[in-house]
Amino acid sequence: MNFIETRGNDGEHPLEATFSSAILAPIASFGGIYVPKTLPDLGLSFLQTHLNSNYKTLAKAVLNAFEIDIDATVIDEALSLYDQFDDNTNPVPLVKVKDDLYISELYHGPTRAFKDMALQPFGVVLSSLAQQRNEHYLIMAATSGDTGPAALETFKNRANVQVACLYPDGGTSDVQRLQMVTEDAKNLKVIGIHGDFDDAQNALKRLLGSATFKAKLKEKNIHLSAANSVNFGRIIFQLIYHIYSYLELVRTQAIKLGDKVYLDVPSGNFGNALGGYYAMKMGLPVEKILIASNKNNVLTQLIKFGQYDLRDMSVISTSSPAMDILKSSNVERILFDLFGSERTKELMAQLDNDNHYELSATELAEIQTMFAADFCEDKEGKEYIKEAFENNYLMDPHTATCFKAYDTCRDKPLITIAYSTAEWTKFSPTIANALTGEQDANDSDALESIAKEANINIPAIINDLFSKEIAQSTIIDKQDIEQEILNFL
Ligand SMILES: *Cc1c(COP(=O)(O)O)cnc(C)c1O
């Protein structure tokens, strides 16, 4: 199946792109992104067929339905990475926490956060394409925490791909920093910069747009790419677990095949929610998708009032930092799907130029047939963490935002699947504070106190980080980044 562009065609890009070219060069005409030209039907008969399929079999069937131009052997190798998740037969456990609330845990991969669900297989696909084409890629990432470790982990020692990962020194948690700086492989470069996440991101954007930098890469025969979540190569792997979790509910007889459910998604760049939206469009019985945010509540404003308004807004630091986002990139794909390319181009131009757009009343009504949204303040989130813990469920602050949406956004008493996007080990100081009241603990102390409180062990994969050798010790000023990367290459 081919891919088309969200903002229409400028006459310079091809009218349609294959899956592989859409993932190697993800930016389309007028700064748009790629979407599938049509969606396959994965309705009741597909679900019935795969009622007892394991995760990889289901994943293969979903990918096949998209008819993507990736060899079966590459897909098999990509999906085999799910064998290294905690339970090699089931990468995404579903846990019942209330009579009508189930948590689908997306964090059982190597970096303990949901980015692994897509980046693990994506790394294999991208590296294989680069090898087949005999091309070399530099993947650039700027991270405030989760994308960096997941990107390094997936591309480590893969052929034809090198990664340069920028993080703000002092701006990530200890665990996240250690996950990056202990990565020891020739094709990885981790660069701490003096500054905050915006500085890292701006430096990245400047390099991605810099003609001289690109010319220097060209001399070395290296193409530039980014591992961010607008890449459809990541989105396609984020469809599967929504379908899988639904089938788990049928298998455990919580619902009958065909019953509708709510999907409740902690959202930032909207990749996870978009996967749910496509699954629903392809026939998964979903009543609505609940969009949970933190105090950076642009998505709540959009879905409640039809306003995407960044005027007078700046990013607020919260205890769910992976959702501290104002420009939520994948919303564009929903706009395209509902309102077409001309309108999407117009709205995205308004957002770029005026920091604001407003949907019409009919457009808003259409969005609201499929989505509802609410946001959760840090203080409420901590109360949800404590309450869940008292009911024997330990969760992280991103997951906690779903509990607010579960409480306020449902208008029918239907079974709800909420998504847990990070393990407790990644955001331990906030959780320790919620459980015991202790303030400003470092990660190591917070991990200890949660483990004691919950009577569990700190997973070895996290504990070992604190004694692992530091392999990446570069910390520099912003203006030295370009030279540092060129030296690395
Ligand atoms: C990336 C991330 C999110 C947000 O997911 P999107 O697909 O960007 O909406 C939520 N929680 C955690 C822990 C994440 O790493």
- Output the domain CATH number for residue 297: 3.40.50.1100
In the predicted structure, residue 150 carries a pLDDT above the cut 90: yes
- Helix ranges, 355-471 (H): 361-370, 378-390, 397-408, 428-436, 443-454, 460-463
pLDDT of res. 100: 97
Spatial CA neighbour of 28 closest among 273, 332, 235: 332
pLDDT in tens, 59-90: 999 999 999 999 999 999 999 999 999 999 99
**Is 489 part of any domain?**
no
**Ligand 1 pocket, mutate which of 120, 228, 272, 274 (most atoms under 8 A from CB):** 272
In the predicted structure, residue 371 carries a pLDDT above the cut 80: yes
Tell me how far apart the alpha carbons of residues 469 and 361 are, in angstroms, rounded to a whole number.
Answer: 57
Record the pTM.
0.96
How far is residue 87 from each of residues 92, 439, 460, 467, measured CA to CA in Å? 8, 34, 15, 26
In the predicted structure, residue 413 carries a pLDDT above the cut 80: yes
**Is 3 part of any domain?**
no
Which of 201-210, 347-356, 442-451 is predicted least confidently? 201-210
Question: Half-sphere exposure of residue 146, counting CA atoms within 13 Å on the CB side?
Answer: 27
SS3 for 420?
strand
In the predicted structure, residue 115 carries a pLDDT above the cut 90: yes
- Compute the distance from residue 323 Cα to the ligand 1 centre, in Å: 6
Residue 267 beta carbon below 6 angstroms from any ligand 1 atom = yes
**Is 366 part of any domain?**
yes
pLDDT of res. 144: 77
**Is 274 part of any domain?**
yes
Question: What DSSP state is assigned to residue 479?
Answer: G
**Is 425 part of any domain?**
yes
In the predicted structure, residue 210 carries a pLDDT above the cut 90: no
Q: What is the domain range of residue 326?
A: 79-113+234-467
Host H or E run for residue 4: strand 3-5
pLDDT in tens, 22-62: 998 888 999 899 999 999 999 999 999 999 999 999 999 99
Residue 156: band (very low, low, confident or very high) from pLDDT cuts 50, 70, 90:
very high
Average pLDDT score, the chain: 94
User: 196 or 91: whose pLDDT is higher?
Assistant: 91
Q: Which residues contact 84 (CB under 8 A, 6 or more apart)?
A: 109, 110
Spatial CA neighbour of 106 closest among 293, 245, 279: 245
Residue 423 beta carbon below 6 angstroms from any ligand 1 atom = no
Atom nearest to 271 CA in ligand 1: 7
**Is 251 part of any domain?**
yes
In the predicted structure, residue 195 carries a pLDDT above the cut 90: no
**Is 1 part of any domain?**
no
Percent of the chain residues topping a pLDDT of 70: 100
Residue 276 beta carbon below 6 angstroms from any ligand 1 atom = no
User: How long a stretch of residues is the chain?
Assistant: 489
Residue 291 beta carbon below 6 angstroms from any ligand 1 atom = no
**Is 170 part of any domain?**
no
Residue 331 beta carbon below 6 angstroms from any ligand 1 atom = no
Residue 149 beta carbon below 6 angstroms from any ligand 1 atom = no
Average pLDDT of 140-155? 89
Tell me how far apart the alpha carbons of residues 208 and 73 are, in angstroms, rounded to a whole number.
Answer: 32
pLDDT of res. 206: 84
Spatial CA neighbour of 473 closest among 181, 214, 36: 181
Residue 146 beta carbon below 6 angstroms from any ligand 1 atom = yes
Tell me how far apart the alpha carbons of residues 458 and 228 are, in angstroms, rounded to a whole number.
Answer: 30
- Compute the distance from residue 267 Cα to the ligand 1 centre, in Å: 6
Residue 341 beta carbon below 6 angstroms from any ligand 1 atom = no
Q: Which residues contact 359 (CB under 8 A, 6 or more apart)?
A: 302, 306, 307, 347, 367
What domain count does the chain have? 1
